Amino acid sequence: MRLTGIQRNTVRGTQVILLLAALCIPALSIQDPRPQEQTAPPPLKIITRLERSQLHESKDPKARVKTTIELAEAHLTNAENQTSQHEYDSAAAEAGMYWALVEDALSFMKTIDRDNNRKRDLYKRLELSLRAHGPRLSNMRRGTPSEYAVWIKEIEDFARKGRTEALNSFYGHTVIHDGPQSPRNPKRPTNP
């Protein structure tokens, strides 16, 4: 049986389509979606009893903030050392203790009288130390596997927000803070 030109082109086109399908199907099966990366559990934000007693034994707010900063820096140094030794679980635990101490310092600062120059000095001390911690946390995050780096980034962001809070204390009530904006006059009166 003799095929016409159109039928011949149809048969050849069908053969080419089947050949391409045979080549593409194995390639598509290789590209299975990657399983979602597992993240490490969040570091525990704890302050040990010994550290808590040191903080409560502080005589005045200046001593307490100084002690808190020293303890936080010690935990950050330990976390950096353990990250360089590829002990990521213990580094995450130290980072969690650092996080807890910074959080405690910020909550303590809120309990001190607002209109006090000493409070501003304490915020400045805290802001300066958090500024120095930022690059250290970034460096530690870069040397950490991604499942742990997520939490280091969270701590880094928290320290940045704490630094912003400390800087905002210098301006008191004279600066309008960015917040959710609501429309002032959604229904404008029209001029007749």
| Residues 44-91 pLDDT 10s | 899 999 999 999 998 888 899 999 999 999 999 999 999 999 998 999
How confident is the model at residue 96, as a pLDDT?
93
| Residues 30-52 pLDDT 10s | 555 555 566 778 888 999 999 99
pTM: 0.69
d(CA 101, CA 75): 9
Residue linked to tokens 């909550």 = 107
Is-contact 74 56, C-beta < 8 A? no
**pLDDT at position 158 over 70:** yes
Give the residue-averaged pLDDT of 176-184.
Answer: 60
**7, containing H or E segment:** helix 5-30
Give the residue-averaged pLDDT of 91-109.
Answer: 92
162 half-sphere exposure, CB direction, 13 A CA radius: 33
Boundaries of every domain in the chain? 49-168
CB-count burial class (<10 Å; 0-12, 13-18, 19+) for 174: exposed
More confident position, 9 or 106: 106
Give the residue-averaged pLDDT of 2-18.
Answer: 73
- The chain-wide mean pLDDT, for the chain, equals 81
CB-count burial class (<10 Å; 0-12, 13-18, 19+) for 152: buried
**pLDDT at position 170 over 90:** no
d(CA 124, CA 27): 59
| Residues 123-139 pLDDT 10s | 889 999 999 999 999 99
**pLDDT at position 97 over 90:** yes
Angle between helices 61-84 and 88-109 (to 10 degrees): 160
Quick one: tokens of 4? 């016409």
Is-contact 148 40, C-beta < 8 A? yes
d(CA 73, CA 136): 10
Lowest-pLDDT range of 4-8, 12-16, 162-166: 4-8
Q: What is the 3-state secondary structure (H, E, C) of 43-97?
A: CCCCCCHHHHHHHHHCCCHHHHHHHHHHHHHHHHHHHHHHHHCCCHHHHHHHHHH
